Amino acid sequence: MQALALRLSGLDPYVDGAIRIIAFYDTLMRRRVDLPALARASAGLAECVAGIRLHGTGRAIRISPDGKEASAPPASASTTVPVTLDEEEIGTAWLERPGAPGPLDEVLLDRLAIAAAAVAERYGPARTTMADPALVELAISADSDEAARARALRLLGFAADPPVHVVAVRSRLALDRIGGLVCPARQVKAAPLGDVGVILATTVDPARFPAGVRAGISTAGRLDRAWREARTALRFTTPREPVIPYAGLGALALLAEIPQDVSRDNADVAAIARIAGSPEDLQTLDTYCATGSLRRAADLLHLHHSSIARRLEQIAKTLGIELTEPGGLTRARIALTAWRLLDD
């Protein structure tokens, strides 16, 4: 192979330069350099400012040909390439060359991007958020033994401590974006499993979920149990409460254990199903059940309280429940929740 390379380089100066660049980066990777050293070597080779940025940190490393951090404001990149790991773009590498790109800049940046991805994988597995779904499923499956679960977590980049939270997600947004938002500075991995997205994270901030995301958050602990908790909490989410921690459900979580045929046969749940054909009535009942106050419900729905009172009177007749009494309100809340859990 080396003899072939020598023959090719003798025929074409471009090939000779490309082979030398490849050998240069192979040597850097064998020496297991870090990102600043990689950028420094690249800047010296390219004889212009070289830059690397990983999306996970947001920090840009810019090194001048003299080996020092570039102090001048960033110039327009003459050539840019993505840094990819496991088919996910995790960053960018670029050269800031005055004038037109050099004839070998494309080769140099290609090798720089490969080397940067190897460094990110070696020193920071959390830099990439998306994970192999098979590994995630192995980590959360009830059929996995503890040895297999522990190995899957190690391959995903998680240490034994701290414990891992599981989040079940339904959203049109990219899972890696959601994972990065709710766990911005710690280890987080995400993968789709069927029609539900899974996020594994060392910490979860419920306030950081973007609009349009439905999410159930488990308590930290044994992952197969946490996955059940997360899926259960996801079933209780609504447009009004799109993010629900399982711990906040308390005794309500027991409703998820009721067989659906039993729920459908319940008179109160069947009555909710009858009014579900009217979105207006359903929204009114939902808001009133959430607030327990006619006037507060009227404020949230931007209606006069007398209009809400008339609606609730008609809804109460349909349900056969006296909504103004504490017991009736409790019945309506439970029935509404049980109805939402049907076929979910």
Q: Are 168 and 189 in contact (CB under 8 A)?
A: no
Residue 10 confidence (pLDDT): 47
* pLDDT over 90 at 76, yes or no: no
Mean pLDDT of all residues in 91-118: 91
**Closest by CA position to 39, among listed 75, 76, 93:** 93
Determine the 3-state secondary structure of 49 from DSSP: strand
- The pLDDT of residue 6 is 41
pLDDT at position 123 is 62
* Confidence (pLDDT) at 56: 59
In degrees, rounded to 5, the angle at the alpha carbon of residue 206 between the alpha carbons of residues 289 and 88 is: 135
Predicted confidence (pLDDT) at residue 285 exceeds the cutoff of 80: yes
- 218-269 pLDDT tens trace: 987 889 999 999 999 999 999 889 999 999 999 999 999 999 999 999 999 9
Q: Are 217 and 244 in contact (CB under 8 A)?
A: yes
Task: Give how far Cα 317 sits from Cα of 253, 277, 321, Å.
Answer: 29, 16, 7
217 falls in which pLDDT band (50, 70, 90)?
Answer: very high
> What gap in Å lies between CA 257 and CA 236, rounded to an integer?
12
3-state secondary structure of 41: helix
pLDDT at 344: 67
Give the pLDDT of residue 152.
83
Q: Is the pLDDT of residue 9 over 80?
A: no
pLDDT at 35: 86
Q: Which of 36-50, 144-158, 192-206, 317-331 has the lowest mean pLDDT?
A: 144-158
